[in-house]
Homo-oligomer: A and B are copies of this chain.
Amino acid sequence: MKHNFGAGPCILPQEVFQEASRSVVDFNGLSILEVSHRHKDFVAVMDEATDLVKKALNVPEGYSVIFLQGGASLGFLISALNMMRETKKASYINTGTWAKKAMTEAKKVGFEVIEAASSADTNFNYIPKNFQIDSASDYLHFTSNNTIFGTQFKEMPKTSLPLVCDMSSDIFSREINVSDFDLIYAGAQKNMGPAGTTLYIVKDEILGKSTSDFMPTYLDLKTHAEKDSMFNTPPVFPVYASMLNLRNLMKTGGVRGAQERNEAKANLIYNEIDNNPLFEGTVAKEDRSNMNVTFLMKDDSRVDEFNALWQENNLVGLKGHRSVGGYRASMYNALPIESVQVLVDLMKDFSNKG
Protein backbone atom coordinates (compact mmCIF):
# COMPACT_ATOMS: atom_id res chain seq x y z
CA MET A 1 0.00 0.00 0.00
CA LYS A 2 1.25 3.45 -0.92
CA HIS A 3 1.01 6.46 1.37
CA ASN A 4 -0.16 9.21 -0.94
CA PHE A 5 1.01 12.64 0.25
CA GLY A 6 0.45 14.15 -3.21
CA ALA A 7 -0.75 17.76 -3.43
CA GLY A 8 -3.52 16.97 -5.89
CA PRO A 9 -5.12 15.28 -7.71
CA CYS A 10 -4.83 13.28 -4.57
CA ILE A 11 -5.95 10.43 -2.42
CA LEU A 12 -9.66 9.64 -1.99
CA PRO A 13 -11.11 6.84 0.14
CA GLN A 14 -10.52 3.31 -1.15
CA GLU A 15 -14.29 2.62 -0.96
CA VAL A 16 -14.85 5.48 -3.40
CA PHE A 17 -12.32 4.03 -5.84
CA GLN A 18 -13.95 0.61 -5.57
CA GLU A 19 -17.48 1.81 -6.19
CA ALA A 20 -16.45 4.22 -8.94
CA SER A 21 -14.58 1.39 -10.62
CA ARG A 22 -17.63 -0.89 -10.51
CA SER A 23 -19.84 1.82 -12.00
CA VAL A 24 -17.48 2.28 -14.95
CA VAL A 25 -18.56 -1.20 -16.03
CA ASP A 26 -22.03 -1.35 -14.52
CA PHE A 27 -24.21 1.53 -13.42
CA ASN A 28 -27.80 0.27 -13.65
CA GLY A 29 -26.84 -1.87 -16.63
CA LEU A 30 -24.73 0.66 -18.53
CA SER A 31 -21.33 2.16 -17.85
CA ILE A 32 -21.54 5.46 -15.93
CA LEU A 33 -19.44 6.77 -18.85
CA GLU A 34 -22.17 6.09 -21.41
CA VAL A 35 -25.20 7.32 -19.46
CA SER A 36 -26.89 10.38 -20.88
CA HIS A 37 -26.67 13.33 -18.52
CA ARG A 38 -30.40 13.83 -19.12
CA HIS A 39 -31.25 10.30 -17.98
CA LYS A 40 -33.05 10.13 -14.64
CA ASP A 41 -30.25 8.00 -13.22
CA PHE A 42 -27.70 10.73 -13.75
CA VAL A 43 -30.08 13.55 -12.83
CA ALA A 44 -30.42 11.70 -9.51
CA VAL A 45 -26.60 11.69 -9.16
CA MET A 46 -26.37 15.43 -9.78
CA ASP A 47 -29.22 16.12 -7.36
CA GLU A 48 -27.64 13.96 -4.67
CA ALA A 49 -24.20 15.54 -5.15
CA THR A 50 -25.78 18.99 -4.81
CA ASP A 51 -27.72 17.98 -1.71
CA LEU A 52 -24.66 16.39 -0.12
CA VAL A 53 -22.69 19.62 -0.53
CA LYS A 54 -25.55 21.49 1.13
CA LYS A 55 -25.71 19.03 4.00
CA ALA A 56 -21.97 18.73 4.50
CA LEU A 57 -21.45 22.49 4.72
CA ASN A 58 -24.84 23.49 6.18
CA VAL A 59 -25.43 25.68 3.17
CA PRO A 60 -28.27 28.02 4.16
CA GLU A 61 -31.35 28.90 2.13
CA GLY A 62 -30.63 31.48 -0.54
CA TYR A 63 -27.47 29.84 -1.87
CA SER A 64 -27.03 27.72 -5.00
CA VAL A 65 -24.59 24.86 -5.39
CA ILE A 66 -23.18 24.45 -8.90
CA PHE A 67 -20.83 21.93 -10.48
CA LEU A 68 -18.85 23.36 -13.38
CA GLN A 69 -15.62 22.70 -15.25
CA GLY A 70 -12.35 24.55 -15.77
CA GLY A 71 -10.84 24.35 -12.31
CA ALA A 72 -10.04 27.30 -10.07
CA SER A 73 -8.14 28.78 -13.01
CA LEU A 74 -11.45 29.45 -14.72
CA GLY A 75 -12.91 30.27 -11.30
CA PHE A 76 -10.52 33.24 -10.99
CA LEU A 77 -12.24 34.66 -14.06
CA ILE A 78 -15.80 33.60 -13.28
CA SER A 79 -15.65 34.98 -9.74
CA ALA A 80 -14.35 38.37 -10.90
CA LEU A 81 -16.87 38.66 -13.75
CA ASN A 82 -19.84 37.74 -11.60
CA MET A 83 -18.86 39.99 -8.69
CA MET A 84 -18.27 43.16 -10.74
CA ARG A 85 -20.37 46.06 -9.45
CA GLU A 86 -20.26 49.86 -9.54
CA THR A 87 -16.71 50.60 -8.46
CA LYS A 88 -14.87 48.07 -10.62
CA LYS A 89 -12.33 47.91 -7.80
CA ALA A 90 -11.56 44.59 -6.16
CA SER A 91 -9.45 43.85 -3.09
CA TYR A 92 -7.32 40.72 -2.89
CA ILE A 93 -5.26 39.24 -0.08
CA ASN A 94 -2.06 38.03 -1.67
CA THR A 95 -0.88 34.81 -0.05
CA GLY A 96 1.08 33.66 -3.09
CA THR A 97 0.72 31.89 -6.44
CA TRP A 98 -3.02 31.22 -6.51
CA ALA A 99 -3.98 34.63 -5.14
CA LYS A 100 -1.71 36.27 -7.71
CA LYS A 101 -3.28 34.33 -10.54
CA ALA A 102 -6.73 35.36 -9.30
CA MET A 103 -5.61 39.01 -9.25
CA THR A 104 -4.31 38.74 -12.80
CA GLU A 105 -7.68 37.54 -14.11
CA ALA A 106 -9.55 40.29 -12.25
CA LYS A 107 -7.31 42.84 -13.95
CA LYS A 108 -7.94 41.21 -17.30
CA VAL A 109 -11.68 41.72 -16.99
CA GLY A 110 -11.25 45.38 -16.18
CA PHE A 111 -10.91 45.64 -12.42
CA GLU A 112 -8.63 47.98 -10.60
CA VAL A 113 -7.12 45.39 -8.30
CA ILE A 114 -6.11 46.47 -4.82
CA GLU A 115 -3.68 44.30 -2.91
CA ALA A 116 -5.25 44.61 0.51
CA ALA A 117 -2.38 42.71 2.13
CA SER A 118 0.49 40.49 1.12
CA SER A 119 2.99 38.13 2.66
CA ALA A 120 5.35 38.38 -0.32
CA ASP A 121 8.01 39.98 1.91
CA THR A 122 8.92 36.61 3.45
CA ASN A 123 8.07 34.25 0.57
CA PHE A 124 4.45 33.91 1.68
CA ASN A 125 5.23 32.02 4.87
CA TYR A 126 2.45 33.63 6.90
CA ILE A 127 -1.13 34.87 6.60
CA PRO A 128 -1.44 38.68 6.67
CA LYS A 129 -3.52 40.05 9.53
CA ASN A 130 -4.75 43.43 10.76
CA PHE A 131 -4.77 45.24 7.47
CA GLN A 132 -6.97 47.96 6.02
CA ILE A 133 -9.53 46.98 3.42
CA ASP A 134 -10.67 49.50 0.83
CA SER A 135 -14.32 49.95 1.69
CA ALA A 136 -15.29 50.93 -1.84
CA SER A 137 -14.21 47.63 -3.42
CA ASP A 138 -16.81 45.43 -5.04
CA TYR A 139 -15.55 42.49 -2.98
CA LEU A 140 -12.68 41.02 -0.98
CA HIS A 141 -11.07 37.87 -2.37
CA PHE A 142 -8.80 35.42 -0.57
CA THR A 143 -7.44 31.89 -0.89
CA SER A 144 -8.32 29.97 2.24
CA ASN A 145 -5.36 27.58 2.00
CA ASN A 146 -2.20 27.87 -0.04
CA THR A 147 -1.06 24.45 -1.22
CA ILE A 148 2.41 25.61 -2.26
CA PHE A 149 3.49 27.61 0.78
CA GLY A 150 1.52 25.59 3.33
CA THR A 151 -0.39 28.47 4.88
CA GLN A 152 -4.05 28.50 5.90
CA PHE A 153 -6.46 31.11 7.20
CA LYS A 154 -7.45 29.88 10.66
CA GLU A 155 -9.83 32.82 11.01
CA MET A 156 -11.61 33.97 7.89
CA PRO A 157 -11.09 37.68 7.11
CA LYS A 158 -13.69 40.00 8.62
CA THR A 159 -15.10 42.58 6.26
CA SER A 160 -18.29 44.39 5.38
CA LEU A 161 -17.51 43.78 1.70
CA PRO A 162 -18.89 40.78 -0.16
CA LEU A 163 -16.46 37.97 0.58
CA VAL A 164 -15.17 35.68 -2.19
CA CYS A 165 -13.00 32.68 -1.49
CA ASP A 166 -11.01 30.19 -3.53
CA MET A 167 -11.44 27.23 -1.22
CA SER A 168 -10.00 24.61 -3.59
CA SER A 169 -7.58 23.02 -1.21
CA ASP A 170 -9.40 22.94 2.10
CA ILE A 171 -13.13 22.84 1.42
CA PHE A 172 -14.77 19.97 3.33
CA SER A 173 -11.70 19.73 5.58
CA ARG A 174 -13.16 21.92 8.34
CA GLU A 175 -16.39 23.58 9.31
CA ILE A 176 -17.13 26.92 7.71
CA ASN A 177 -19.92 29.44 7.93
CA VAL A 178 -21.21 29.67 4.37
CA SER A 179 -23.37 32.69 5.15
CA ASP A 180 -20.18 34.74 5.65
CA PHE A 181 -19.48 34.38 1.93
CA ASP A 182 -21.06 35.68 -1.24
CA LEU A 183 -19.15 33.23 -3.41
CA ILE A 184 -17.01 30.17 -2.75
CA TYR A 185 -15.36 28.23 -5.54
CA ALA A 186 -13.19 25.14 -5.38
CA GLY A 187 -11.58 22.74 -7.81
CA ALA A 188 -12.65 19.22 -6.86
CA GLN A 189 -9.31 17.49 -6.79
CA LYS A 190 -8.39 17.72 -3.10
CA ASN A 191 -11.21 16.83 -0.75
CA MET A 192 -14.24 16.65 -3.05
CA GLY A 193 -13.40 14.26 -5.84
CA PRO A 194 -11.23 13.62 -8.87
CA ALA A 195 -10.03 16.39 -11.18
CA GLY A 196 -12.54 17.61 -13.72
CA THR A 197 -15.23 19.46 -11.87
CA THR A 198 -15.31 22.71 -9.92
CA LEU A 199 -17.73 23.57 -7.16
CA TYR A 200 -19.39 26.97 -6.79
CA ILE A 201 -21.47 27.97 -3.79
CA VAL A 202 -23.08 31.26 -4.58
CA LYS A 203 -25.46 33.58 -2.77
CA ASP A 204 -28.49 33.79 -5.05
CA GLU A 205 -28.90 37.50 -4.60
CA ILE A 206 -25.61 38.21 -6.38
CA LEU A 207 -26.68 36.36 -9.54
CA GLY A 208 -27.37 38.50 -12.57
CA LYS A 209 -26.04 41.66 -10.89
CA SER A 210 -22.74 41.96 -12.71
CA THR A 211 -21.94 45.31 -14.35
CA SER A 212 -19.48 43.71 -16.75
CA ASP A 213 -20.11 44.52 -20.41
CA PHE A 214 -18.63 41.15 -21.21
CA MET A 215 -20.69 38.24 -19.92
CA PRO A 216 -20.65 35.13 -22.10
CA THR A 217 -23.29 32.57 -21.26
CA TYR A 218 -21.00 29.88 -19.83
CA LEU A 219 -19.21 32.33 -17.52
CA ASP A 220 -22.44 33.65 -15.98
CA LEU A 221 -23.20 31.72 -12.80
CA LYS A 222 -26.88 32.58 -13.28
CA THR A 223 -26.89 30.32 -16.35
CA HIS A 224 -25.83 27.32 -14.33
CA ALA A 225 -27.81 28.06 -11.17
CA GLU A 226 -31.02 28.22 -13.21
CA LYS A 227 -30.25 24.92 -14.94
CA ASP A 228 -29.12 23.00 -11.85
CA SER A 229 -25.61 22.52 -13.33
CA MET A 230 -27.15 21.02 -16.48
CA PHE A 231 -26.91 23.97 -18.86
CA ASN A 232 -24.59 21.85 -20.95
CA THR A 233 -23.21 18.34 -20.58
CA PRO A 234 -21.61 18.21 -17.14
CA PRO A 235 -18.43 16.21 -16.44
CA VAL A 236 -20.45 13.12 -15.63
CA PHE A 237 -17.81 10.88 -14.08
CA PRO A 238 -16.05 13.54 -11.95
CA VAL A 239 -19.45 14.62 -10.57
CA TYR A 240 -20.39 10.99 -9.93
CA ALA A 241 -17.15 10.22 -8.10
CA SER A 242 -17.50 13.44 -6.10
CA MET A 243 -20.98 12.33 -5.09
CA LEU A 244 -19.58 8.99 -3.90
CA ASN A 245 -16.89 10.78 -1.94
CA LEU A 246 -19.38 13.17 -0.32
CA ARG A 247 -21.54 10.18 0.64
CA ASN A 248 -18.48 8.67 2.26
CA LEU A 249 -17.75 11.94 4.06
CA MET A 250 -21.24 12.03 5.53
CA LYS A 251 -20.96 8.41 6.68
CA THR A 252 -17.71 9.12 8.49
CA GLY A 253 -18.78 11.98 10.69
CA GLY A 254 -19.24 14.70 8.09
CA VAL A 255 -17.06 17.77 7.94
CA ARG A 256 -16.74 17.91 11.72
CA GLY A 257 -15.35 14.38 11.77
CA ALA A 258 -12.95 15.20 8.96
CA GLN A 259 -11.82 18.33 10.80
CA GLU A 260 -11.06 16.36 13.96
CA ARG A 261 -9.05 13.79 12.02
CA ASN A 262 -7.22 16.53 10.12
CA GLU A 263 -6.30 18.30 13.35
CA ALA A 264 -4.99 15.07 14.84
CA LYS A 265 -2.84 14.43 11.75
CA ALA A 266 -1.55 18.01 11.79
CA ASN A 267 -0.67 17.83 15.49
CA LEU A 268 1.19 14.59 14.93
CA ILE A 269 3.42 15.83 12.13
CA TYR A 270 3.97 19.42 13.29
CA ASN A 271 4.94 18.08 16.69
CA GLU A 272 7.58 15.89 15.04
CA ILE A 273 8.85 18.76 12.87
CA ASP A 274 9.21 20.98 15.95
CA ASN A 275 10.92 18.35 18.06
CA ASN A 276 13.13 16.69 15.49
CA PRO A 277 16.52 18.44 15.33
CA LEU A 278 16.93 17.60 11.62
CA PHE A 279 13.78 19.33 10.33
CA GLU A 280 12.13 22.72 10.50
CA GLY A 281 8.77 24.04 9.37
CA THR A 282 8.65 26.88 6.88
CA VAL A 283 5.48 28.64 8.03
CA ALA A 284 4.59 30.86 10.99
CA LYS A 285 3.15 28.45 13.56
CA GLU A 286 -0.24 30.11 13.88
CA ASP A 287 -0.76 30.00 10.10
CA ARG A 288 0.32 26.45 9.40
CA SER A 289 -1.93 24.57 7.02
CA ASN A 290 -3.59 21.37 8.14
CA MET A 291 -3.69 20.32 4.50
CA ASN A 292 -0.18 20.98 3.18
CA VAL A 293 2.70 20.66 5.62
CA THR A 294 5.86 22.30 4.31
CA PHE A 295 9.19 21.61 5.98
CA LEU A 296 12.92 21.62 5.28
CA MET A 297 15.82 19.45 6.28
CA LYS A 298 18.42 21.46 8.14
CA ASP A 299 21.32 19.27 7.09
CA ASP A 300 21.70 19.44 3.30
CA SER A 301 24.16 16.59 3.20
CA ARG A 302 21.54 14.03 4.23
CA VAL A 303 18.82 14.99 1.73
CA ASP A 304 19.51 12.17 -0.73
CA GLU A 305 19.54 9.63 2.06
CA PHE A 306 16.16 10.79 3.39
CA ASN A 307 14.66 10.89 -0.11
CA ALA A 308 15.72 7.30 -0.71
CA LEU A 309 14.26 6.29 2.65
CA TRP A 310 10.73 7.60 2.14
CA GLN A 311 10.60 6.39 -1.43
CA GLU A 312 11.64 2.88 -0.34
CA ASN A 313 8.87 2.97 2.21
CA ASN A 314 6.11 3.59 -0.33
CA LEU A 315 5.60 7.24 0.46
CA VAL A 316 4.45 9.20 -2.61
CA GLY A 317 4.33 12.90 -3.44
CA LEU A 318 6.47 14.25 -0.59
CA LYS A 319 8.78 16.42 -2.67
CA GLY A 320 8.31 20.12 -1.93
CA HIS A 321 7.20 22.60 -4.57
CA ARG A 322 10.12 24.37 -6.23
CA SER A 323 8.99 27.73 -4.75
CA VAL A 324 9.72 26.46 -1.24
CA GLY A 325 11.97 23.41 -1.64
CA GLY A 326 12.28 20.70 0.96
CA TYR A 327 9.20 18.60 1.65
CA ARG A 328 5.47 18.97 1.41
CA ALA A 329 3.22 16.44 3.07
CA SER A 330 -0.28 16.98 1.77
CA MET A 331 -2.77 15.45 4.16
CA TYR A 332 -6.20 15.71 2.63
CA ASN A 333 -9.29 14.16 4.21
CA ALA A 334 -8.69 10.70 2.80
CA LEU A 335 -5.11 10.36 4.01
CA PRO A 336 -5.27 8.12 7.09
CA ILE A 337 -3.41 9.10 10.25
CA GLU A 338 -1.56 5.79 9.88
CA SER A 339 0.21 7.21 6.81
CA VAL A 340 1.22 10.28 8.80
CA GLN A 341 2.48 8.00 11.56
CA VAL A 342 4.63 6.13 9.01
CA LEU A 343 6.18 9.42 7.92
CA VAL A 344 6.72 10.60 11.49
CA ASP A 345 8.36 7.29 12.42
CA LEU A 346 10.68 7.55 9.41
CA MET A 347 11.67 11.08 10.40
CA LYS A 348 12.32 9.95 13.98
CA ASP A 349 14.36 6.89 12.96
CA PHE A 350 16.29 8.91 10.43
CA SER A 351 17.17 11.52 13.00
CA ASN A 352 18.23 8.92 15.57
CA LYS A 353 20.46 7.21 13.01
CA GLY A 354 22.23 10.47 12.16
Q: Which residues of A contact B (CB under 8 A)?
A: 2, 4, 6-12, 17-18, 20-22, 24-25, 29-31, 33-37, 39, 69-74, 76-77, 101, 104-105, 108-109, 187, 189, 193-197, 214-219, 231-238, 241, 316-317
A7 contact set on B, CB distance < 8 A? 36
Report the Cα distance A73→B224, complex, angstroms.
Answer: 12
Assess A217 versus B105: contact at CB under 8 Å? Given A30-B4, A189-B233, A233-B195: yes
Closest B residue, CB atoms, query A314: B29
Report the Cα distance A36→B330, complex, angstroms.
Answer: 12
**Could you name 5 residue pairs across A and B whose Cβ atoms are closer than 8 Å?**
A12-B33, A17-B33, A108-B216, A196-B237, A196-B238
Closest B residue, CB atoms, query A245: B33
Is there contact, CB below 8 Å, between A37 and B25?
no
A17 contact set on B, CB distance < 8 A? 24-25, 31, 33-34
Is there contact, CB below 8 Å, between B73 and A231?
yes
Is there contact, CB below 8 Å, between B236 and A196?
yes
A8 contact set on B, CB distance < 8 A? 36, 233
Is there contact, CB below 8 Å, between A218 and B70?
yes
Report the Cα distance A197→B77, complex, angstroms.
Answer: 19
A236 contact set on B, CB distance < 8 A? 9, 189, 194-196
Assess A214 versus B36: contact at CB under 8 Å? Given A196-B236, A232-B71, A235-B195: no
13 new A-B contacts at CB < 8 Å, known A6-B35, A21-B25, A36-B317:
A2-B29, A4-B34, A33-B193, A69-B70, A69-B71, A69-B74, A70-B70, A74-B218, A109-B216, A187-B233, A194-B236, A196-B196, A237-B241
